[in-house]
Each structure stands twice: as C-alpha cells, then as structure tokens.
Amino acid sequence: MTFYVVRRIAVGIFLLFIMSAMFFTLTRVTPGAPIQVGENPRVHQDQVNRRLHRLGLTDPEGNSYPIPQQYALYLGALLHGDLGDSYQYNTSVTKLLLQRLPNTALLLGSALVIALVIGIPLGIYAATHQYSKLDMTTSITSYIGVSIPSFVLGIYLLLIFAVFLKQSPLHWGFPLFGMHTGGAEDPLDLLYHMVLPVISLTILEIAIFSRFMRASMLEVLHQDYIRTARAKGLAVDRVNYKHALRNAILPIITLVAIAIPQIVNGAIITEGIFSWPGTGQLAFQAVVTRDYPVILGVVMLVAALTVLFNLIADVMYAVADPRIRY
Amino acid sequence: MAQVPPMPLGPSAAGVPGSVPNQISIETTIEQERDLQQPGVKADELRGTPELGFWRLALIRFLHHRVATGALIILGVIILAAVIVPIITGDLYRIQDYRHPFKPPLQSFQHLLGTDDLGRDELARLLRGARVSIEVGVLAVVGYLVIGGGLGALAGYYGGWLDNALMRFTDIIISMPFLLVVIAVTAATGGVRLSTVIIVIAATGWFEIGRLMRAQFLVLREQEFVQAAKALGASNTRIIFRHILPNALAPIIVSATLGVSGIILLEAALGFLGYSVPPPEPSWGNMLNQFEDYLLQNQTYLVIFPATALVITALCINLIGDGIRDALDPRQR
C-alpha cells in the first residue's frame, strides 16, 4: 500500500511535469507579445527590457530566450512555488491564485455537498422504487440536466431570478452581475450571492450522481446475497439500507473524485457569468485578455488537484472495500 | 484391465445396439444437445426460421423506443431546416437593418423571431447557427472516431509501448481542464476559424473513444473466435477489420452519438467566450456572447432563443444516444 501510494505520487509528478512542458510550449508559441508598451515611445526601452526579463522571456539586454530556456526558468521558479507573473495584473500568479482559491473552494465545496446530499438519496429512492413516479421524474430531469451546459443554465437562472422575478411584486431579484464584496463579515450577503452560481453548478452534478447511484444500487439489488438476505426474512428496509447500500455507495467515491475537476471546468464560465471572484473567474478573464501565465497557472492547479483527488479516491476505495488490494 | 478399443467416429457408431453410450459421434451429440435445449424442435425447422440480422433487430428495437424516435424526428426537422432554409434566405443572416433593431418576435411576418441589435433576422441567424453547430459536431466526431478509434484499436490489439504511451497521454489530457486546453490550442494555432475549432476539438477530445476502443479490443482479442481466426492463418488486418471491429462497434456508436452533443455544447461554450467562428458568422454560442447587454436592456428573447435551441438539440442527441444504447444492448436497460 505504501509502495503503491509512493509510486502513484511519483507518476503524478511525472505527469504534471510533462503537462507543464506541453502547455508551456503551447502558450509560448502563441502569437501576441505579453506587453505592448514597447511600442509606446514614452516608455524607456530599458524599462521594457527589465520587465520582459522579469517575466522570464528575455535576458537583461532584451534578447529573447529560446523556449526550452524559458521553460527551464519557469520550472525552476515552479519548484519554489512561483508560477510566474501575470501579464495583466503585475503580481505573481501564485498570489492571485491563493487570493481567489478560498472563494472557489467555498463555491465548489457547497455545490458538491448539496449535489451529494440531494443526488444520492434521490438515486437510492429511484432504485428501490423502480418505475415509480419519482423514479421517472428523476430520470427525465437528469436527462435535461445533463443536456444543459452550466453556462446556459447560469444564463437561464439570471433570466428568471434577476430579470423576470425582479419585476414581480415580490421582488425576488437576485443580483444581476453584482459581485460579492462583503467578504466573510456579512454571511447573509455572501449566501445571497452564492445561491444562483451554486444552483447552476449543482444541477448537472445532481443529475450525474442520481443516475449513477440508481444504476449502482440496482446492480447490487440484483445480486445473490441480497436475495439470500431477503429469503432469510429480513425486513426490506434493513436489506436495502444495510446490506445493499454499503456496496452500492462505494463507486460514488471514484465518481466524486472525477466530478471535482469537472466542476472546476464548469466553474470557469459559471464564475465568469456570476462575477464570483474565484479562480474560475480569474481564468475566464485571463482567457478574454490572453493572460497566458494565469491560464497556465490555473491549468497546473486543476491538474494537480485532479491527480491528487484521483489518488485519494483510490486509497479511500481500498480502505472502504477490503476486497481491493494494491 | 481390458483395453477399450477406439470407436470409429461417424453416424454409424451411434445407432449400433450395444455400443457404449458415452462413446457417440460428434454429430449425434450436437443433435442431442439441441433437443435438450429446445425439445420438439427439429434441426431443419431451426434452420428454416427467417433470421433478422443484428442491425435490423437493433433498428426495430430503436423504433419501438418512442422517446428516442421522437427525438430523432425533432433533430431531423432541425437539421433539414438548417440545411434547406439558408439556401432560400441566402445572406439574410448578416444583412443589417439599422432602422429596425430589437424588433420583438411574432410581430411581423418579415422577421418572425424578431431582429437583433443590428437589425439582423434572428430566425435566419438561429438556423445558420444550427448549421455551424451540426457541422462542428459531426466533423469533430468523425475526427474522434478516426484518431481515437484507430489508436485505441492498435493499442488494444498490439499492446506494448503504443498501449503504454496512449494510456499515459490519456491520463495527462484527462487531468487538464478541457476548455482551457482547447482555448490555448486554438489561440496557439492562430486565429479562430471553423476548421481550426473542429481540428482542435477532434485532436483534444478523442481519448474517451480511444479508451473505449482499447478496452473492447483487449477483451475481444482473447476470445475464441479470434483465436480460431488466428489459428486458421488470418492476417492481423483481416482479424482487426473482419472479426474484431464489427463486434466492438456497438458501444463506440453510442459513445460517438453522445460525443456529438458534448461537442456541440463545447463549441457553444467556446463561441460564448469568443473562441469559435468569428462574426458575422453566427453560432449559438456567440449569439449568447452579449447576453449581459440583452438582459440589462430587457431583450430577453435574444437570450432565450439561442440558449433553448442549444439545449433542445443537445437533449435530442442524448435521447437518441440512449435509444441506440438500448437498441444495441438490450441487457443494459
């Protein structure tokens, strides 16, 4: 087990290494200079050179480094936790990411928890009451949920809650592109601003979780040991929730691990739409302004998280299911 | 101990009275087994039943799936409209009419769904956008099938370093945020054209079908009928194309169908961010680009139409994909 974990971590680091090389080359061959001020005659050439040198693009005299050398510099800085400087914000990418990570974690964490709390019981109920009305409703809703991308859902939600309901006498209006600025000091305001983005991220995950849980539960319910337990005369609920559930819920661990990068992906546009000041919005703006160090930083962060969560999922799976040995 | 003489094989051995019952010919055994499985049915009757092929049966099962058939009809109407109507209306989608911007829908026959901020006909733009979506969806999926299917098949069949390389590469791509990767590649290849978008999506998204194809080939390669073909001296090419591929197709078709809706949604997200076809060419994604202005100005129909068109198309394709899954593999219901 220890050996397995160590090996997985080594492989993970290797993957991140290759990935950073690929993505780094990609962003560096992209046309477009990082700073256009060089064309401004009022800026001294020395200053431009100093700035380009600080970005790791040229030597102090202003001669551009070849890409492998740029990458070596980047990698050296990366080992010190430095992801380079943003073209746009004039601060380090690490600082930007760390600033915004708590916001994203809050948004994604609550979306994930809500999706699990709603999706899993829904899936269990749908499986134990197959072809019931709720089962049918769940599967139809989950079809629609899977077919709506989170940004379209976000737009629909803004349409309903911020435009239509703002005109209603009840005045339900949720903020239309209003950014949350209150910080953690005003939890009610924070909650108010979280409602729409969390819903738009949750729906898809609820659809996925409930569908998966239903399929997994149905598969277990058709196994021999369940029939044996029923034949022994155990109560149906006891069989369902004690014998079947334990085995059916195990694959969810893997699903959650896969879901995390998926939500992060969805969050890029969702945070942009709802002006939620997280890493997703950072990436969204970086995409619009072509701020490649920031995009690279977000990609590295997401990739590292994916590798990490996959590892955690595999270890947890082995702990939860004694049949699995590494 | 007395030696039992080897019995001659053949029909004559079975009927001989006094012969040892467990030493009977191969043919009689097959007959007997058939009788055991389906008592009362004679061999020639079995041969006489009209046999429906696998694909015929699948088609029949699909058409019995009412939801999927309905979705197929709706999608067919959308595709037909997207192909035929632009031929008649021509350049209507980019003709600007500054005297009539933001004309609400269902007010005049001339602009059935109203006009946008530049006075362009919304219906013509929607249909033109449908063309873009469908074009990207279908062509990129063909790319998935060629790259993913080809590499997956080779990796699954031959194994070795190709298999390892493919799996590691897949690991890398899976752990990257897909949207950002596509955007970065699109930007790096310079400019946004429809062909670039298609190629980039195909080049970065094929791994799911690749994995599926590999898994299929890994399983099928070990099956008896493949071993038999090998023993009979069939070449690798023949085994791959004639023996394994037809058996591996069912899940690939389902995955490819669902892939089309995924690509259409991805293209819309790219268009929304301004990384798909450039204006004046409309796509459902870039029609939503200015949704903030439209919502603030209360021109909600300009947001509702493209968003709903997108969702309906994706939903139809997903339902069709599920129908195909049920039709091809009835056990999975």
This complex has an ipTM of 0.81
Distance CA B279, CA B249 (A): 39
Output the six-digit token pair for A121: 């019981």
Check residue A178 and give its pLDDT.
63
Check residue A144 and give its pLDDT.
85
CB spacing of A159 vs B292 below 8 angstroms: no
C-alpha of A245 from chain center: 27
CB spacing of B314 vs A147 below 8 angstroms: yes
User: Amino acid letter at A85?
Assistant: D
The closest of B327, B151, B324 to B253, measured between CA atoms, is: B324
| Banded pLDDT at B7 (limits 50, 70, 90) | very low
Check residue A289 and give its pLDDT.
77
User: Amino acid letter at B181?
Assistant: V
Q: Considering only residues 207 to 266 of chain B, which have any Cβ-Cβ distance to chain A shorter than 8 Å? A: 261, 265
Average pLDDT of span B115-127 = 84
Are residues A295 and A302 in contact, defined by beta-carbon separation less than 8 angstroms?
A: no
Beta bridge partners of B115: B121
Check residue A117 and give its pLDDT.
94
Tell me the CA distances in angstroms from B285 to A86, A326, B58, B310, one per residue in order: 28, 46, 35, 8
Average pLDDT of span A113-142 = 88
**Out of B168, B188, B269, closest to residue A269 by CB:** B269
| Banded pLDDT at B263 (limits 50, 70, 90) | very high
Check residue A40 and give its pLDDT.
66
pLDDT for B6 beyond 70: no
Average pLDDT of span A186-193 = 78
The 8-class DSSP code of residue B207 comes to H
CB spacing of A151 vs B295 below 8 angstroms: no
Residue A78: which residues within 8 A CB-CB, separation 6 or more? Answer: A20, A300
Pick among B172, B211, B299 to test the A interface (most A CBs inside 10 A): B172
Distance CA B96, CA B124 (A): 12
In a 10 Å sphere around its CB, with 0-12 CB exposed, 13-18 middle and 19+ buried, how is residue B57 labelled? middle
pLDDT for B208 beyond 70: yes
Beta bridge partners of A64: A58
User: Amino acid letter at B15?
Assistant: G
CB spacing of B307 vs A156 below 8 angstroms: yes
The closest of B246, B241, B255 to B206, measured between CA atoms, is: B255
Are residues A152 and A146 in contact, defined by beta-carbon separation less than 8 angstroms?
A: no
| Banded pLDDT at A293 (limits 50, 70, 90) | confident
Tell me the CA distances in angstroms from B6 to A309, B9, B13, B14, B28, one per residue in order: 65, 9, 11, 14, 17
CB spacing of A163 vs B315 below 8 angstroms: no
Check residue B140 and give its pLDDT.
94
Q: Give the residue with greater pLDDT, B13 vs A297.
A: A297
Q: Which bin fits B282, alpha (ψ -120 to 50), beta or left (φ > 0)? A: beta
Distance CA A245, CA A249 (A): 6
Are residues B25 and B11 in contact, defined by beta-carbon separation less than 8 angstroms?
A: yes
Tell me the CA distances in angstroms from A283 to A279, B87, B180, B229, one per residue in order: 6, 40, 8, 53
Beta bridge partners of A85: A92
**Out of A22, A265, A288, closest to residue B178 by CB:** A265
Distance CA B129, CA B306 (A): 9
Pick among B178, B180, B283, B315 to test the A interface (most A CBs inside 10 A): B180
The mean-pLDDT minimum among A3-12, A45-54, B261-270, B280-289 falls in A45-54
Question: Highest-confidence range of A32-41, A72-81, A222-231, B102-111, by mean pLDDT?
Answer: A222-231
Which string of b and e fits B108-138 if b means at least 16 CB within 10 Å? eeebebbbbeebbbbbbbbbbbbbbbbbbbe
Distance CA A126, CA A70 (A): 55
Check residue B313 and give its pLDDT.
93
**B209-258 pLDDT per residue, tens:** 988 899 889 888 888 999 999 999 989 889 998 889 888 888 898 899 98
Question: Highest-confidence range of A2-6, A148-152, B318-322, by mean pLDDT?
Answer: B318-322
**Out of A19, A283, A310, closest to residue B172 by CB:** A19
The mean-pLDDT minimum among A322-326, B217-221, B269-273, B329-333 falls in B329-333
Q: Give the residue with greater pLDDT, B186 vs A158.
A: A158
Check residue B229 and give its pLDDT.
92
The closest of B100, B126, B115 to B286, measured between CA atoms, is: B126
Average pLDDT of span B325-329 = 82
Check residue A129 and give its pLDDT.
87
Pick among A152, A260, A284, A292 to test the B interface (most B CBs inside 10 A): A152
pLDDT for A38 beyond 60: no
